[in-house]
Amino acid sequence: MAPIRIILLFAVISISSGLPAKSHRGSHGHSIPPAPRFNGVFDHDHNHEEIANNIKSWSPNNIQNVWELSGLYEGDIMIHPDSPMDSPWKNGLLDATARWPGGVVPYFIQEDDFDRDQIKLIKEAMQEYHERTCLRFRPYKDTDDDYVTIQAKDSGCWSLVGRHGHGQVLNLQNPGCIHHGVVVHELMHALGFYHQQSAANRDEWVTIHWENIKLGKEHNFNKYDNRTVTDYGIGYDYKSVMHYSSHAFSKNGEPTITPKKEKVQLGQRDGLSKKDVAKVQAMYKEQCDGRNSSHSFESSEEISIEWLFD
């Protein structure tokens, strides 16, 4: 009997020792990634409490988009830590290294930050990309170096622009940011897209009312140059999910942006516009074509939408 006691005691000690498992798994069996390399860097005067309260009190009836309230560059763009604050756009839409290889984006959702219905909503936003573009989202795997961690810290709705390597955060404050169009918008940033109204040719399409913009927020209306961004020949899009609202950063309740075309609404929160889809397809054509013709990328089963509602 003595040898049996020794074996049992050894088993108990081994279980209690806290030795790290080879890989950690979430509630659905998906791997849990290490902490992202890029968690976000905030200015010293960033008022987290005020911003969090503004986000929490926002409703879909508000004229402004909720992501415009997040207190970052252009509202919701997190600047890469290595980018100089006065020139954050050395990497942009035209930089192929910022794109996701094969048009596949590994992701991890911090399940403790969201309830079941909210996770379902986030996945439905991903599903729109699956159904309308060649892009694919799939759960993080242990072999992934690059991935997006979706969390819900009280710091607004925000993302870095494009792929930055070794993990990056997409934040969806809860409550406040868990709306279909908001999730689609932030995913567009993570894919490599900036805001529509700052396109180089925007003055042909909209008028910026500088006199109505809050003091210190004027930089949010700067234009990108043609060396950084492109519309892939598709053109300006009033209906883009990436377009500012008409009252973005208004100090007096008056419009800060008006369209030069009559009877046009600026932006929307429903999801991808037709031109959004066309631009995604153009940006990722090479990556998606390479994925479809190569066995080195994930199989069709791994990047299907069947995992969306597991």
Q: How far is CA 145 from CA 15, 49, 126, 141, 165, in A?
A: 30, 33, 20, 9, 7
Instruction: Quick: pLDDT tens for 67-80.
Output: 999 999 999 999 87
CB 61 within 8 A of CB 206: no
Whether residue 192 is predicted with pLDDT greater than 50 in this model: the reply is yes
185 is in an annotated binding site: yes
Cα(298)–Cα(286) distance, integer angstroms: 16
Q: Where are the beta strands (DSSP E) in the chain?
A: 104-109, 136-139, 148-151, 157-159, 168-172, 206-208, 257-259
**81 or 191, which is more confident:** 191
Give the pTM.
Answer: 0.85
CB 304 within 8 A of CB 117: no
Q: What is the mean pLDDT of residues 208-237?
A: 90
Instruction: Quick: pLDDT tens for 113-125.
Output: 999 999 999 999 9
- What's the whole-number average pLDDT of the chain? 84
pLDDT of residue 27: 56
At residue 155, the 3 state secondary structure works out as coil
- Is the four-CA dihedral 260, 183, 200, 253 of positive or negative sign? positive
CB 161 within 8 A of CB 193: yes
**189 or 31, which is more confident:** 189
pLDDT of residue 28: 59
Cα(112)–Cα(119) distance, integer angstroms: 10
The band of 25, judged by pLDDT with boundaries at 50, 70 and 90, is: low
Instruction: Quick: pLDDT tens for 245-269.
Output: 999 999 999 999 999 999 999 999 9
Whether residue 47 is predicted with pLDDT greater than 70 in this model: the reply is yes
Whether residue 156 is predicted with pLDDT greater than 60 in this model: the reply is yes
Q: Which residues are catalytic?
A: 186
The band of 295, judged by pLDDT with boundaries at 50, 70 and 90, is: very low
The band of 87, judged by pLDDT with boundaries at 50, 70 and 90, is: very low
Neighbours of 31 (CB within 10 A): 17
- Helical ranges in 37-179 per DSSP H: 48-57, 116-132
Closest CA to 72 of 284, 217, 270, 178: 217
Whether residue 291 is predicted with pLDDT greater than 80 in this model: the reply is yes
Instruction: Quick: pLDDT tens for 60-70.
Output: 999 999 999 99
DSSP state string for 22-57: SS-B-TTSPBPPPPPSB-----TT--HHHHHHHHHH
Tell me the β-bridge partners of 104: 136
In order of start, what are the domains of the chain with their CATH numbers?
39-287 (3.40.390.10)
Q: What is the mean pLDDT of residues 176-184?
A: 97
Whether residue 297 is predicted with pLDDT greater than 60 in this model: the reply is no
Q: What is the mean pLDDT of residues 135-154?
A: 96
